[in-house]
Amino acid sequence: GNSVTQMEGPVTLSEEAFLTINCTYTATGYPSLFWYVQYPGEGLQLLLKATKADDKGSNKGFEATYRKETTSFHLEKGSVQVSDSAVYFCAPSNDYKLSFGAGTTVTVRA
Amino acid sequence: KAGVTQTPRYLIKTRGQQVTLSCSPISGHRSVSWYQQTPGQGLQFLFEYFSETQRNKGNFPGRFSGRQFSNSRSEMNVSTLELGDSALYLCASSGGVGRVTEAFFGQGTRLTVV
């Protein structure tokens, strides 16, 4: 089965700082890769995705590149806002399921 | 377009009871998946249904079961509830066809077992 190692949190940043959350995975076959975000009290929202090697997913200023050779999918944002405070989950997908990392809690201070 | 709807949002049950949770997918979506979220174990996959057929299931005891109806709505059932079943249960829907299908999640059902 799949497994995901995600950067431990919590991460606390000041507004406009650079954010990176590391994610590496092991998976059978050739998974699609996703980042999901969970805001306080809410369900999961898809943040971005990549479906093949060297694909770059991007959304709301966040980016992640599918690195097959290093089995990694690190999330980055150049300038975070208070509204980016949330829990972020890395998730490879195959066999009709998502395998989630432990989640990284990010808090952005004004 | 309405999103994924889960009912009820909150439930309190007693040990030994059983519970049924409901999920209505996005219109046109044929795949429904269920996940359990707890502080200790994180997000764990329970099972996935497509056109009323279970295509994959996670490592949960047989007390956890699910089904999908012809209109793609899904239910999951937990029998003989244990304290450790207290969790947020999330349902996700997707088109389910093809290699890459994005999953859209509902708000979840918060189950508390006392």
Residue B97: the pLDDT is 66
Give all strands (DSSP E) within A39-85, no chain letters: 44-50, 56-59, 62-65, 75-77
A94: Cβ contacts below 8 Å, ≥ 6 apart: A2, A27, A28, A29, A30, A31, A32
A20 and chain B in contact, CB less than 8 A: no
Give dist(CA B2, CA B27) in Å, integer: 7
Cβ of A49 within 8 Å of Cβ of B104? The answer is: no
Query: Does the pLDDT of residue B98 top 70, yes or no?
Result: no
Give the end-to-end CA distance of chain A in Å, rounded to a whole number: 41
Cβ of B102 within 8 Å of Cβ of A42? The answer is: no
User: Mean per-residue pLDDT for A69-91?
Assistant: 96
Chain A neighbours among B 60-99 (CB < 8 Å)? 90, 92, 96, 99
Query: Does the pLDDT of residue B10 top 70, yes or no?
Result: yes
User: Which residue has tokens 């359990």?
Assistant: B36
User: Mean per-residue pLDDT for B64-84?
Assistant: 97
Bond prior to A31 in cis (omega within 30° of 0)? no
Give dist(CA A18, CA B76) in Å, integer: 41
Phi (first) and psi of residue A109, to 5 degrees:
-95, 140
Cβ of A97 within 8 Å of Cβ of B99? The answer is: no
The gap from C-alpha A18 to its chain's centroid, in whole angstroms, comes to: 15
Query: CB-CB: which of B42, B48, B106 is closest to A97?
Result: B48
What average pLDDT is seen over chain A? 94
Give B74→chain A minimum CA distance, Å: 16
The gap from C-alpha B113 to its chain's centroid, in whole angstroms, comes to: 17
**pLDDT tens per residue, range A20-57:** 999 999 988 889 999 999 998 888 999 999 999 999 99
Give B110→chain A minimum CA distance, Å: 11
Chain B neighbours among A 77-96 (CB < 8 Å)? 89, 93, 95-96
User: Which residue has tokens 């050739």?
Assistant: A30
Within 8 A of A96 by CB-CB distance, chain B residues are 31, 33, 48, 50, 55-56, 96
Query: CB-CB: which of B56, B102, B104 is closest to A97?
Result: B56
Query: Does the pLDDT of residue B99 top 80, yes or no?
Result: no
Q: Of the given ranges (A5-9, A51-55, B57-61, B107-111), which has the lowest mean pLDDT?
A: A5-9
Q: What DSSP assignment string belongs to B53-106?
A: EEEEE-S--TTEEEEE-TTS-EEEEE-S--GGG-EEEEEEEE---SS----EE-
With pLDDT > 90 as the criterion, what percentage of chain B qualifies? 89
